[in-house]
Structure 1
């Protein structure tokens, strides 16, 4: 009989070891992917996708940092993340992707630094587990631009165009007039801040004054970066008559797709300046000065007193109006930033059925009142039905695409959250100290921006 028990015990041990291996393997992880294909040249924008995965679902999103990579410029143009779902060895993982844009300034090898990415996830459903992964190692090999000094290029882009315009006809100027020249550089695949400053040169006898540039980045309707634009303005002042040639403005750029160096140019401008016209009145003899009228000082004193009294009255009215406006603004701000207003947004989010709107409202309320993490507040003041409904809502935020069209039912949370809030107010009240925040804010600006926007 004992011999028959041994196979059963061995099978149970093997099953336990396999389950333990699955649990141990279900740990958060990250990966980095080079989204830019082909050869990478100096000055070219390189996109790197960084994905963070956690088992089950996230309870607080990963905080992707902007890191320092010597010899490059690192940006994150799009603050929005892309939600991912994967199944690995039978374990369901939720993921979030952010895209970094790296611009290497010279040829060489670059490696992503091992920075930390913190987040919170549901290792056990309903409980928050603090997770942290390292930025995956990814090596970028950057090639020197053909013909560029030390592998550096002035501009590396898919396309560069230069246009110019003038504020008047180039043949209608007279001595002493000013001519405004506007030069616009537009690029595909290159940020506006990377466009070099054009050189405005003036011919002899002409003064040129350069104004501050205007930079802008172009994006699609979905926020995808397309390119940049730089607009520069200069004013040329012609003191003497004559014919002048304003030099061209050129920009050499390298196209990584074709591997060729191109040239964009704003052409030279020919300007004709005539003599300043002579006024006919300047040829006539000067007219005698008019007789001065007697100075009526009494009238001027009375007018001055009246103006001073009116100015004092206007100043007093402006001061009182300013104080009333400041008092009214302070009352409105207090009301907008109050706890009842924050909880009313939570109730509106439940009635709307919009899971994202409700999540933003309940997160702002919990930060406003210091009830962070919110799960601890629910464990203390909410009933089991409310906690179960809230856990179901959190799971719905990270469900797969097949369930994305289902609209969550948030109405069961209304009454439950109101009862939990009543218990919380009965215990702490308006005069009691709000419990301190037990965890650092994941996004300190979120709450403030929400209340200001309301």
Structure 2
């Protein structure tokens, strides 16, 4: 009778466990009232029953007519009761900057997540992201503009290379105008029209755009620097028109105009000034050259220039075919180095020594996935055979996922860092012995 009861319990558990599958949630913040150029946060959370057996692989994706900034900050860990079952959760946040009005759709993507389906049994699930959309627009008062510049603060400043006094014909002065917009991309700041009256010629230089971002990839400000040289061709009284730039104030929801006032100055006559086009000189008679053979006329091009040109084309062809391959190899080497087991272990040690519980747990799962592929946490602890290390990892998990914990600050990771180093050192010694020991029966 007792054996029959145990079999029935096992059958019931086998029927209920498959229902405990990973759950993904995603949302845009804000979801409405979004303006072009303003950041939209995409918050993605993945929940699994029991615990994670490795680090989730959040996708990288692009949205048409928008800039997507991938998660830069460490993920957020949490736990939640869903249907009477305790789920562990990890949350990542993307930032989306719409570049023009219209509807924006989250592309099809999925999260790969390893988790304990029925401890100690583990599984890997591929959970798709939900279909989400948002709409970005421009206010009615700004629809007639050729551009839309939404920000909370905008400044426009100018400076001259010399005072606009005692100018004479033939002089030139340089004007530099700087526009700075808070939490705005510099590429969205439009060029300023610089008009000049008759008698002044303007030479504009290439503008300089600069974006200042936080460590999380969010824009602090965008800055556009526009320079031009004004060449005074003749004496007279001049007025440079005012420069205006319209922008949308997000604090007051109104259209504002930033203005540089008109500038007036006088240029005096300059008797030493030479006109741009000097008078045409008398033609100088040129001796007629004797006609020679084609070989004597073009032998330099045939002997020197033509081979050099062919060699240049050949070198250019080699570079065109080789540089992309070299660049890809360098990228692959850099990616492999940044995602190597020593790099992951170094990050894990750093988090443990700083006692950052959430960061240490996430980096421990990443390192375990690379150092021991396919090995769940409990199997790693069994092979390590280190009671202190097992206790420290259990304390770390309890500080994050226990129901009534007092916060991650209670956990101290110094001992965990020390025992992880000892374990890794022993494993490396064993690996070297296996590599260098000779075969017993060659």
TM superposition score normalised by structure 1: 0.63
Deviations 1:309-352 (A, max 9, x none): xxxxxxxxxxxxxxxxxxxxxxxxxxx99x99879959976994
Give runs of aligned pairs for residues 28-47 of structure 1, distance below 5 A.
Answer: 28-36=22-30, 39-47=33-41
2:187 to 189, 193, 203: 193
CA contact (8 A) 1:182 1:233 kept: yes
Q: Work out whether residues 26 and 129 of structure 2, in 8 Å CA contact, stay in contact via their aligned partners in 1.
A: yes
Q: 1:350 to 1:139 in 2, by over 3 A?
A: closer
Q: In the alignment, does 2:119 pair up with 1:114?
A: no
Determine helix, strand or coil for the equivalent of 2:420: helix
1:193 partner SS: helix
Question: Aligned partners of 1:343 and 1:253: how far apart in 2?
Answer: 46
1:139-159 per-position Cα deviation (integer Å, ceiling 9, x unaligned):
213345314458974223333
Q: Are the aligned partners of 1:342 and 1:365 in contact in 2 as well (CA < 8 Å)?
A: no
Q: Determine the C-alpha separation between the residues in 1 that align with 2:353 and 2:123.
A: 30
Kindly tell me: are residues 96 and 45 of structure 1, through their superposed partners in 2, closer, same or farther at Cα, counting changes over 3 Å? closer
Distance 1:421 1:189, change over 3 A: same
In structure 2, what is the Cα distance between the partners aligned to 1:349 and 1:149? 51
> Which secondary structure state, in structure 1, belongs to the residue aligned with residue 386 of structure 2?
helix
Q: Is 1:402 matched with 2:396?
A: no
Q: 1:152 to 1:214 in 2, by over 3 A?
A: closer
Take 1:347 and 1:74, find their aligned partners in 2: how far apart are those partners? 31
The residue number in structure 1 matching 2:77 is: 84
State the match for 2:423 in structure 1.
Answer: 416
Change (3 A) 1:415 1:393: farther
CA contact (8 A) 1:247 1:269 kept: yes
Q: Is the 8 A contact 1:41 1:143 kept in 2?
A: yes
Deviation, structure 1 residue 20: 5.1
Q: Structure 1 residue 420: deviation in Å? A: 1.7
Cα distance between partner residues in 2 of 1:346 and 1:113: 32
2:91 to 72, 85, 96: 96
Q: Does 1:183 align with 2:177?
A: yes
Is 1:53 aligned to 2:47, yes or no?
A: yes
CA–CA distance in structure 1, aligned partners of residues 60 and 90 of structure 2: 17
Give the structure 1 partner of residue 133 of structure 2.
139
Which residue in the other structure is 1:373 paired with?
A: 373
Contact 2:72 2:216 in 1 (8 A): no
Deviation at 1:199, TM superposition (A): 2.7
| Aligned mates of 1:246, 1:429 — CA distance in 2 | 81
Tell me how far apart the structure 2 counterparts of residues 126 and 157 of structure 1 sit (CA, whole Å).
Answer: 53
Shift of 1:121: 3.9
User: Hey, what does 1:64 align to over in structure 2?
Assistant: 59
Q: What's 1:384 paired with?
A: 385
SS at match of 1:217: strand
Count of residues paired in the alignment = 361
> Following superposition of structure 1 onto structure 2, how do residues 142-221 of structure 1 map, counting pairs within 5 Å?
142-149=136-143, 153-204=147-198, 205-217=200-212, 219=214
2:294 corresponds in structure 1 to: none
8 Å CA contact retained: 2:59, 2:109: no
Contact 2:44–2:93 (Cα < 8 Å) also in 1: yes
Q: 1:398 to 1:21 in 2, by over 3 A?
A: farther
> Cα deviation per residue 1:291-323 (whole Å; 9 max; x = unaligned)?
xxxxxxxxxxxxxxxxxxxxxxxxxxxxxxxxx
CA distance in 1, matches of 2:127, 2:341: 38
Q: Is the 8 A contact 2:52 2:116 kept in 1?
A: yes
Instruction: Note if contact 1:45-1:190 (Cα within 8 Å) is conserved in structure 2.
Output: no
- With normalisation by structure 2, the TM-score equals 0.65
- 1:236 maps onto 2:230 in alignment: yes
Which ranges in structure 1 are unaligned for 5 or more consecutive residues?
280-335, 433-454
Per the alignment, do residues 142 and 426 of structure 1 end up closer, same or farther by CA in structure 2, a change over 3 Å counting?
A: same
1:266 is aligned to 2:267 = no
SS in 2 for 1:415: helix
**Per-residue deviation, residues 128-183 of structure 1 (Å, max 9, x unmatched):** 64333222222213345314458974223333332222222122433333322222
Give distance in 1, aligned partners of 2:8 and 2:345: 54
Distance 1:380 1:31, change over 3 A: closer
Deviates more, 1:342-351 or 1:182-191: 342-351
**Cα pair 1:43 1:103 within 8 Å, conserved:** yes
Structure 2: distance between partners of 1:388 and 1:81: 24
Q: RMSD value over aligned CA atoms?
A: 4.7
| Shift in CA distance, 274/266, structure 1 to aligned 2, threshold 3 Å | same
